[in-house]
Amino acid sequence: MKQLERVKIDEFKAHFRGDVLLPGDADYDDVRKIWNGMFDRRPAIIARCVGTSDVLNAVNFARVNNLLVAVKGGGHNSAGNAVCDDGIMIDLSLMRRVNVHPKKKTLRVDGGALLGDMDYETQLHGLAVSGGGIVSHTGVGGLTLGGGFGWISRKHGLAIDNLISAEVVTADGKLVTASADENPDLFWGIRGGGGNFGIVTSFEFNCVAIGPEVYSGLIVKKFEDAKAYMQFHREYVRSLPDDMTAWMVVRHAPPLPFLPKGVHGKMVVVVPFVWLGDEARGAQLVQPIREATTSHGEAIGMNPWVGWQSGFDGLVEHGARNYWKSHHVKELSDDCIDRIVEFAETMPSDEIEVFIPHMEGAPSRVPDNTTAFAHRKTPFVLNIHTRWRNASDDERCLAWARDFHRATEPFAQGVYVNFLSDEGEDRVKEAYTQEVWDRLVQVKKKYDPNNLFRMNQNIKPV
Ligand SMILES: Cc1cc2nc3c(=O)[nH]c(=O)nc-3n(C[C@H](O)[C@H](O)[C@H](O)COP(=O)(O)OP(=O)(O)OC[C@H]3O[C@@H](n4cnc5c(N)ncnc54)[C@H](O)[C@@H]3O)c2cc1C
């Protein structure tokens, strides 16, 4: 740090309630870490905010000193935007309060909270936020600003469809409310446009009643029948009521206790599901999945909602190297299935998942352009979640993911902004329709004309 900067930092610290960390400070290396181990960036300064005034001070400090800004919510995004080299990391991870209003069935949650924080507090009252993801250490902030889907979003909508309002610190250091009544253009933009327009210090959501247990589970299908199973699945899930969500994950079998030992590490098609109804009817709906092709095993029953929401955490812990390539897929045609099976056969790491969630339902019934989230009617997502441990495997794993992605491009129709890597502006545009993109640019021009918030899937104000 140069002498002048040191003086400025001391001045900044004087009005900052949280910790200000500099390279060499005790917690600096821990706090700059994010979920994706591919990123080892070193901010010049980390502002660990404990409240809205800290966020406001940090934004003003960054703007006045012309610093590159990275905002860390849960730090989960595979693109690595939560941390920058040089510049300032505005870290929200100490801001995790959740206040549930059980009578109104609403909640207010801080911008740095994790999905697990929200799940535990809402379940105390038999509630949940729809669209709140499937891994409990994901951040509410990044997830919501990109859209947010989960096990019950087919029934109850995306996270943004349940958002009532948000408190936002804008680039000019103002604290504003974004809701249907206040700053509606900003409210529209933050529902799908990511962190482009400001830092959300708190979100207010509508909740839905759920649990405490849900009929849910996993059926593990033999990979030899992958094509036949996928042909069945693509039709069957589209015939199901919105209360039932069944997805596919193609991967090497983890050492799940209900699988014979010989299956561990073998390529399989996992079919996880959640049914929001009584057990008997759930069992009837699962039966065709069981019968479609041969299974290696299954674990099905009434599971606590909170437990189910964190049941997959262990497979995607922090620290591994990750590279995501994704599309929305307009149909799982035979050709598309052939490409999936072909690339699964050459998977370069045991931890890779090809995640194929079914998206249709309540989100598709929201009229286009109500929010900035586009491609609401596309039935499936194909997420190539490439994950490995050693830097020496980088080239092999990246090449596999890129080739797979290219081979499935003919079946693509847009992309979910939260599943993008650092792929350039043209790819960010693919997350939106032209009409939505043009409108996002206008909102960006109004709220962040100098592009202070650009460590994200960036919408330039031009
Ligand atoms: C293992 C795993 C599972 C996932 N599962 C799902 C899923 O089921 N459903 C789903 O919809 N998505 C899922 N995602 C994607 C997830 O929604 C995105 O990665 C999301 O960006 C994570 O948010 P975060 O706050 O943890 O990330 P961060 O990396 O902290 O932030 C992501 C982006 O959002 C910005 N940001 C974060 N918080 C704020 C805030 N409060 N105000 C302003 N900007 C902010 C950051 O600056 C950054 O640009 C998953 C991701 C992973 C890694």
- Cβ–ligand 1 contact at 141 (below 6 Å): yes
**What CATH number is given for 3-91 in this structure?**
3.30.43.10
> How high is the pLDDT of residue 300?
98
Domain with CATH 3.30.43.10 in the chain: 3-91
Angle at 25 between CA 24 and CA 27, to 5 degrees: 120
Q: Give me the pLDDT at residue 3, please.
A: 53
Per-residue b or e along 341-369, where b marks 16 or more CB atoms closer than 10 Å to that residue's CB = bebbeebebebbbbbbbbbbbbbeebeee
Output Rg (C-alpha) for the chain, integer angstroms: 22
The SS3 assignment for 455 reads coil
Is the minimum distance from the CB of 189 to ligand 1 under 6 angstroms? no
CA–centroid distance, 147 to ligand 1, in Å, is: 10
What's the confidence (pLDDT) of residue 7?
A: 86
180-220 confidence digits (pLDDT tens): 999 999 999 999 999 999 999 999 999 999 999 999 999 99
CB neighbour burial string for 177-211, b if at least 16 within 10 angstroms, e if fewer: ebbeeebeebbbbbbbbbbbbbbbbbbbbbbbebb
Paired sense of beta strands 213-222 and 248-252, if any: unpaired
pLDDT at 54 over 80: yes
Q: Output the average pLDDT for the chain.
A: 97
Query: Rounded distance, CA 332 to CA 71, Å?
Result: 36
Structure tokens at 347: 């998977």
Q: Where in the chain are all domains bearing CATH 3.30.465.10?
A: 98-210+438-447
* Number of neighbouring beta carbons within 10 Å of residue 434: 9
* Residue 181 main-chain phi, psi, to 5 deg: -95, -30
Chain length of the chain: 462
Half-sphere exposure of 388 (CA within 13 A, CB side): 17
pLDDT (0 to 100) of residue 1: 54
| Share of residues in the chain with pLDDT > 90 (%) | 98
Mean pLDDT for 6-10 is: 90
pLDDT mean over 419-428: 97
Of the candidates 82, 40, 356, the residue with the CA atom closest to the CA atom of residue 199: 82
Closest CA to 344 of 234, 254, 269: 269
Instruction: Kindly give the distance from the C-alpha atom of residue 124 to the centroid of ligand 1, in angstroms, as a whole number.
Output: 25
**For 364-388, what is the mean pLDDT?**
97
4 falls in which pLDDT band (50, 70, 90)? low
Q: How many whole angstroms from 418 Cα to the centroid of ligand 1?
A: 6
Ligand 1 binding pocket includes 72 (Cβ within 6 Å): yes
CATH topology of domain 98-210+438-447: 3.30.465
The 10s digit of each residue's pLDDT in 274-291 is: 999 999 999 999 999 999
Q: Which amino acid is at 436?
A: V
Instruction: Give, for 5, the enclosing helix (H) or strand (E).
Output: helix 3-14
String of b and e for 261-288 (b: at least 16 CB within 10 Å)? Answer: eebeeebbbbbbbbbbeeeeebeebbee
Q: CB of 166 closer than 6 A to ligand 1?
A: no
The pLDDT value given to residue 176:
98
Express each pLDDT in 236-276 by its tens digit.
999 999 999 999 999 999 999 999 999 999 999 999 999 99
Phi-psi region of 171 (alpha: psi -120 to 50; beta: other; left: phi over 0): alpha
At 104-162, the pLDDT tens digits run 999 999 999 999 999 999 999 999 999 999 999 999 999 999 999 999 999 999 999 99
The confidence score (pLDDT) of residue 5 equals 80
Q: Say yes or no: CB of residue 109 within 6 Å of ligand 1.
A: no
The atom number, within ligand 1, closest to the CA of 80 reads 29
Residues of each domain in the chain carrying CATH 3.40.462.20? 213-419
The edge-to-edge listing of strands for the beta sheet with 106-110 is 98-101, 106-110, 199-206, 163-169, 175-179
- The residue to mutate among 34, 71, 137, 356, having the most atoms of ligand 1 within 8 angstroms of its beta carbon, is 71
Q: Is the dihedral of CA 202, 438, 159, 428 positive or negative?
A: negative
Q: Express each pLDDT in 82-99 by its tens digit.
A: 999 999 999 999 999 999
Write the pLDDT tens digit of every residue in 300-346.
999 999 999 999 999 999 999 999 999 999 999 999 999 999 999 99
- Closest residue to atom 16 of ligand 1, CA basis: 143
Residue 418 Cβ contacting ligand 1 at under 6 Å? yes
Angstrom distance (rounded) from CA 60 to CA 10? 15
Report the 3 state secondary structure along 17-54.
CCEEECCCCCCHHHHCCCCCCCCCCCCCEEEECCCHHH
Please name every residue paired with 200 in a beta bridge, in sequence order, or none if there are none. Answer: 168
Closest CA relative to residue 421, chosen from 346, 322, 343 = 322
Whether the per-residue pLDDT at 62 is higher than 80: the answer is yes
CA dist., res. 13 & res. 279, Å (int): 56
Compute, in angstroms, the gap from residue 322 CA to the centroid of ligand 1. Answer: 14
pLDDT at 6: 84
How would you classify the pairing of strands 88-91 and 69-72? Answer: parallel
- Domain 213-419 classification at class level: alpha beta
Residue 2 is predicted with a pLDDT of 54
First to last CA, the chain: 34
Quick one: which atom of ligand 1 is closest to the CA of 111?
Answer: 41
pTM as predicted: 0.98
CA angle, residues 37, 453, 435, in degrees to nearest 5: 105
CA angle 34, 72, 438 (to 5 degrees): 120
Q: How far is the CA of 419 from the centre of ligand 1 (A)?
A: 9
Distance CA 351, CA 316 (A): 9
